Structure 1
Amino acid sequence: MDIQDILKPENLVYQKTKLLTDTPMHYCPGCSHGVVHKILAELIDEMGIQERSIGVAPVGCAVFAYNYIDIDWQEAAHGRAPAVATGISRVNPDAFVFTYQGDGDLASIGAAEIMHACNRGENILVVFINNGIYGMTGGQMAPTTLEGMVTATTPYGRNTDLNGYPMRITNLIAQLPGTSYVTRQAVHTAGGVRKCKRALKKAIQNVLDKKGTSFVEVVSTCNSGWKMSPVASNKWMEENMIPYYPLGDMKDSVKGEHSEN
């Protein structure tokens, strides 16, 4: 049998969704961004909402998301994605609107925007990539950087006396009455990818059902910023990040109710 007969699309175990473009991804090997992009593209395709989907990407490693997922996109200033998404969602109430943000963007310069958007219960999905560091701009300390973690601005490790404590901002978000679904996931294993996809599907459906804000944190690696190999980064994340940022649902309720697990 000729190899081209074997490689027919119907014989392949994995087929790339049509919503992922052919643009080569610029992310570092081992980065979690590409996996989350793939999940989002698959879900938007499978749920048949490509024409209704509008993503908002601010500054950071995720800013070029518009190159990879074939939907409408709007760029936002650093930290301002929830404010921009609020305007888009209110003008287009039947659209699926989501932000895609890193920890420096969302938990630092954008802390006010995310807290107030979630408190208002804006009908959007927030995808929060938490790798504990500023990945694009040189590896500086972020609000989520762990205690003792070495970064470009904490060369001797994060010192809580000087720098404060790592921020579990997703835990804070879960307390707000405007949020309907708040969860923390990871994509470093096949099982983790499946769980994250289920969580994102639920979050997207909540937006379509106008249940308020859904918030999905993805605990991630940054092997370039952490100065580790992809394999070592995954191991370090499992041993350090996930114990401090445990995975699982924190809230699953309709808008206006508190139902944290």
Structure 2
Amino acid sequence: MSNEIISKENQVYRKPALMNDTPMHYCPGCSHGVVHKLVAEVIEEMGMEDKSVGVCPVGCAVFAYRYLDIDWQEAAHGRAPAVASAIKRCWNDRLVFTYQGDGDLACIGTCETIHALNRGENITIIFINNAIYGMTGGQMAPTTLIGQKTSTCPYGRTPEIHGYPLKVTEIAATLEGTCYVTRQSVETVAAIRSAKKAIRKAFEASMAGKGSSLVEIVSTCNSGWKMSPVKANKWMQENMFKFYPKGDLKDNTNESQIK
């Protein structure tokens, strides 16, 4: 292969400078790697490389600190919003965000999530929703769809036994402290571009002191769903998007500062 073919200007994918060379542990087809790239790109474009602090708890997101060369703080399971609130209050000039899965955010950390958003903490919560506990064995999560099979509901989720899926993003949009609430995905180029714009808007709103932002990324877990990456994306488009429709649910970023 000639040097011209593999030269920098001919590369389709260019890794952001903030992403290091540590091999990712994510399963093939997982959405986490794409979202990591978007977060890195936005931080670089904002010039916040030395003033960003990410907080990640237990779950597939727990090793995010291995891949992005910014400051990170680990948090107990579900407690990332509480830790992020403390960091932002101590260092108001920092870009502070959490990176959480649906089991962590919508179940174990429901209290911390809802109250941080309701207080209007100037942080961004990035919420990866793949409707399952991906890291710990594929158990049912609060976001698991009705009829969806997991290791703890092998015959499918039923509302009579398991209750209904929880729409955390819709709840967040009703809270006084939130300024920007959106639901995105990263399964196509167009979706990736939209998700990046949403992350940028959320980060800018937090730095402007406008309140809390929640960016949900509807994602796949092809390993937990027992599907190929291609089939998982199709299943997500045909099923997840019906119950979790994409788009902005709340956008007050052009209004005056909340605090």
The amino acid across from 2:11 in the alignment is L
Q: Deviation string for 1:79-113 (max 9, x for gaps)? A: 00000001000000010000000000000010000
Residue deviations 1:94-141 (CA, integer Å, cap 9, x gap): 100000000000000100000000000000000000000000000000
SS in structure 2 at match of 1:144: coil
Q: Whole-Å Cα distance in 1 between the matches of residues 14 and 2 of structure 2?
A: 17
Paired position in structure 2 for 1:114: 113
Q: Quote the RMSD (CA, aligned, Å).
A: 1.4
TM-score normalised by the chain length of structure 1: 0.95
Match of residue 187 from structure 2: 188
Task: Give the aligned partner of residue 25 of structure 2.
Answer: 26
Taking only the aligned residue pairs, the percentage that are identical comes to 62
Corresponding residue of 1:60 = 59
How far 1:16 moved relative to its partner?
Answer: 1.2
After superposition, residues 141-220 of structure 1 pair within 5 angstroms as 141-220=140-219
How far has the Cα of 1:242 moved from its partner?
A: 0.6
Match of 1:8 in 2: 7
1:84 aligns with 2:83: yes
Matched residue type, 1:202: K
Query: Structure 1 residues 255, 80: CA separation in 2 closer, same or farther (over 3 Å shift)?
Result: farther
Aligned partners of 1:88, 1:151: CA distance in 2, in Å?
Answer: 36
Distance in 1, matches of 2:83 and 2:224, equals 28
Distance (whole Å) between structure 2 residues aligned to residue 228 and residue 72 of structure 1: 35
Aligned counterpart, 1:75: 74
Shift of 1:256: 9.0
Q: CA deviation at 1:12?
A: 2.9
- Count of residue correspondences: 256
**Matching residue's letter, 2:67:** Y
TM-score normalised according to structure 2 size: 0.96
Q: How many angstroms does 1:255 deviate by?
A: 9.4
Separation in structure 2 between the aligned mates of residue 31 and residue 242 of structure 1, nearest angstrom: 17
Pair 1:256–1:198, CA change in 2 (3 A): closer
Query: Is 1:58–1:81's contact at 8 Å kept on the other side of the alignment?
Result: yes
Q: Distance in 2 between matches of 1:103 and 1:13?
A: 31
* Structure-2 residue corresponding to 1:36: 35
| Paired position in structure 1 for 2:228 | 229
Residue by residue, what CA displacement relative to the aligned partner does 1:235-259 show, whole Å, maximum 9, x if unpaired?
A: 00001101000000000004999xx
SS in 1 for 2:3: helix
Q: CA deviation at 1:5?
A: 3.7
Is the CA contact 1:177–1:256 (under 8 Å) kept in the aligned structure 2? no
SS across alignment from 1:216 = strand
Q: Which residue of 1 aligns with 2:103?
A: 104
Structure 1 runs not aligned, ≥5 long: none
Partner of 1:97, secondary structure, is strand
Structure 1 counterpart SS, 2:23: coil
Counterpart amino acid of 1:74? Q
Task: For 2:126 and 2:89, locate their aligned partners in 1 and report how far apart those are by CA, in whole Å.
Answer: 19
Alignment check: 8 A CA contact 1:62 1:100 kept: yes
